Structure formats: C-alpha cells, structure tokens
Amino acid sequence: MPPFDVPEGDPFGPHNLPYGVFSPPGSSERRVGVRLGDHVLDAGAAAHALGSPYASLLARPTLNPLLAAGRTSWSDVRRALTAWVTVPAHRETVEPLFHPLSSVTLYLPFEVADYVDFYASENHARNVGRIFRPDAADSLTPNWKHLPIGYHGRSGTVLVSGTDVVRPSGQRKAPTDPAPVFGPSVRLDIEAEVGFVVGAPSELGRPVPLGGFRDHVFGLCLLNDWSARDVQAWEYVPLGPFLGKSFATSVAAWITPLDALEEARVAPPERTHALLPYLDDTDEEPGGYDLRISMAVNGHVVSEPPFSTMYWTAAQQLAHMTVNGASLRTGDLYGSGTVSGPAEGQRGSLLELTWNGRDALELPDGKRTFLEDGDVVTLSAWAPGPGGVRVGLGEVTGRVTPRADPVS
C-alpha cells in the first residue's frame, strides 16, 4: 500500500523528495511536507516521532530555517528523510504521518526575500529582439553575451501554484494612439521559467564566486512570470519592467533540492564570446540543468521549452548578482528568464509562440494570441534521474480571472 509502495519509476519516488509547506485536512497549521508519490509526509512530525535532531529544522511553518541551515544540513536532512521513507523498520512509525496530496492545502513554501528575474535564454532574447526591433543589425543588445541581464521584481506578489491571477489593469499606448489609455491588459502572457531558491545567506561586500553556487542555492522550482505585454511596452523605457510584471509571479508548491538533480547536470551551450573571469565557467562543474518543461493552456500543451539550452547558468547568475558586493538572504529567489529552445514548439511565451499576436494558436477551445479570462496555464517538467528514472518537478498552475472592480 502507499506511500512506501510508490510505484517503481514514479517521478516523485524516494530519489526525488521535494519540499513544500502544507496543512492537513481540517487544520490551518502550516507544516513542512515532503512529497512521495501522491502523498505528503509531515516531515516535522516524522522527525519528532523518530527522535531526529532535525525536528528543529522541519517542525516549522516554513522552509526558511531549513534553507538557512546550509549545505551540510541540507544533505544530512535529505539522507535522513530518505531513510525514513525507505527503511522498513520505520514504516510503522512513519506511515501514519502521510496525507494524500489531494487532501492537503499547499502554501508558498518559503518567505521570499528579494526576487530577481534574469533573461538568460539566447533564443528568447533573439526572438524578442526580432519582434520589437526588426530592423536592428543584431537581435541581441551589445551587453547580452557579456553578462546575464537581470532586474529586481516584486517579492510581495510571488504566489503559490493554484492561486488565481487577476488580470492586471494599466496604461498602454500603441504607437498610433495619441495618448495612453487605461484598462485591463489585452496582452496577458506566460513566461515559462525556472526559479532558484537561495538558502545560505552571504555577507555584504563579499561576492559569491561561481564555485560557491551549491553552498548558497538550495533548490529550484518552476516559475511563471506572468507578463502584461501592453503595459510593459509603454512603461519600460528607461528603467525596465515594473507594473507589467509586478501583479503576480507564480511558483510551484514544491522545491526540488539540487541534490536530487545530480544526474540532470549538463554543460551549457558553447560560449561564443570570451567571458570576464568571474563569469568564466570553463573549468567549473557543468552549470546547466537538463529540465524538460511542458507548457499547457487549458490542458493543451502549447510548448516544450528545454532548460538545457539556457545560455547563462544559475551559477553565473548568482556570481553576477553578487559581484558588486550585494548580499544574499535566505529566501532570495531568482528566475532564469523565459526558457525558449531553438524550435518553434519550444518557445516559453505566447509573445514568441504567436509572434506578438500575428499568428494565433489553434487550441481545442478556440484561437489564442494572448490569455483570455478563465484560461488555466500549467507548467510541468521532469529531469533525468538516477538509473533513468525521472525526477518530477512540482507543477505551477494558475487561472486568469477578471478583476472584480476595475479602476477607471
């Protein structure tokens, strides 16, 4: 019987063990949970029941204490959890502490400190350049191959998967409009991304080198950086995206520890430009991750963006983000940027898939250029795991709803 008898090859088997925060049926008390198959283990209760020293990290309403504990603790806790869900002697103690996934409420698993979003897919950046600057000699800006471009986003509107996304209102102005108009966005878009979760903080004034990535970053999750393209287009010169992004960023309820993704590591694409030493990862461990993402609208897959094609790695992004001396805090979250592969069916945004609305997608329930009210967007993914078993990433999903009280 489940959960110990999770089927062989289940992408959420004991080789995976992502972390989340849940409340059991009939309770609103938040607890750290670990997913196994289609069940959730109350990790704090298990630690208490087994007399584990990790109860202080796990019997908490958020992942932050575990995140802050650092890499050695992350490995130790993972080893302990693996034993708890696989060693038959623990079965009698641990089994009553599982809840069916369908019975629990899931929450944002950690308190987000700063949220940064990057722009690390060359295919995405070139598509955007071709769409918005069709006459430019180079579809990339001159800095693109020299540094991972990024900007800060709003951490207060990072939402857990399943939260409705209210269509934002805002200003927009087509080049032909005499003045800006106000109203609900008519170009609401998806950005399929991967988010990296910082665990161990760093000191102000002390950059984290490329080799420090695993000491600071705990894990990753799928992320949808919802974007109002019309709002963004009017506002973003010269200081970057603001209200076009700040209304909602959705993340999966499950954080996959990097320790579960050893077999998914791959070398990033070949570098076409020499990199400054702090970004040069030639002699580092492979910094890419082979994550196979699937992007669906109303259950219909519209794209399969391959994360392995990202030009800039998460380690390079971390090194860049701190090279000016900026410190890291537990709970910092950074997004990879939209993941787009080289093929048309691998583009991670509707902007690219419909070429800015020119080529509508044919879905079973009608044509789409951008998102309509009621649309449900779901990102899911898997990565190669040990012995060919897949490592499943927690999905991130959200339904677009109209605003109840539009402001005029």
Tell me which residues are annotated as active site.
124
Cα–Cα distances (Å) from 399 to 58, 115, 159, 161, 299, in that order, read 31, 22, 12, 10, 12
Provide the mask over 362-381, with x wherever binding to a copy of itself is found by CB under 8 A and - wherever it is not: --------------------
Contact window for a copy of itself (CB under 8 A) among 2-10, 168-176, 352-360, 378-386: 168-176
319: tokens are 């090194």
Nearer to a copy of itself, 147 or 360 (CB): 147
CA proximity to 331, closest of 196, 150, 206, 135? 196
Peptide bond into 238 cis (omega under 30): yes
Q: Which of 89/179 has CB closer to a copy of itself?
A: 179
Please tell me whether residue 272 binds a copy of itself under the rule CB under 8 A. Answer: no
- Using the CB atoms, write b or e for 107-120: b if 16+ within 10 Å: bbbbebbbbbbbbb
CA nearest to 6, candidates 85, 94, 104:
85
Instruction: Provide the residue type at 284 as one letter.
Output: E
> Of the two residues 79 and 146, which places its CB atom closer to a copy of itself in the complex?
146
Q: Can you tell me which of 72, 102, 143, 176 binds a copy of itself, judged by CB under 8 A?
A: 143
Selection from 247, 365, 345, 245 nearest residue 295 by Cα: 345
In the complex, minimum distance from the CB of residue 172 to a copy of itself, in angstroms, rounded to a whole number: 11
134 counts as binding a copy of itself under rule CB under 8 A:
no
Distance CA 276, CA 407 (A): 48
Starting from the edge strand earliest in sequence, which strands make up the sheet with 376-384, in order?
165-166, 390-401, 376-384, 292-297, 300-303
Judged by CB under 8 A, which of 23, 105, 155, 298 binds a copy of itself? 155
Residue with tokens 């490995």: 75
Q: Which of 88, 134, 238, 387 binds a copy of itself (CB under 8 A)?
A: 238
Task: Annotate each residue in 287-326 with x if it binds a copy of itself (CB under 8 A) or - if it does not, as one string.
Answer: ---------------------------------xx-xxxx
> By C-beta, is 58 or 328 nearer to a copy of itself?
328
- Kindly list the residues in this chain that would bind a copy of itself in the complex (CB under 8 A): 113-116, 119, 141-143, 146-147, 149-157, 159, 166, 168-171, 173, 179-180, 182, 204-207, 209, 228, 231, 234-244, 246-248, 274, 276-278, 320-321, 323-329, 332, 403-405, 407-408
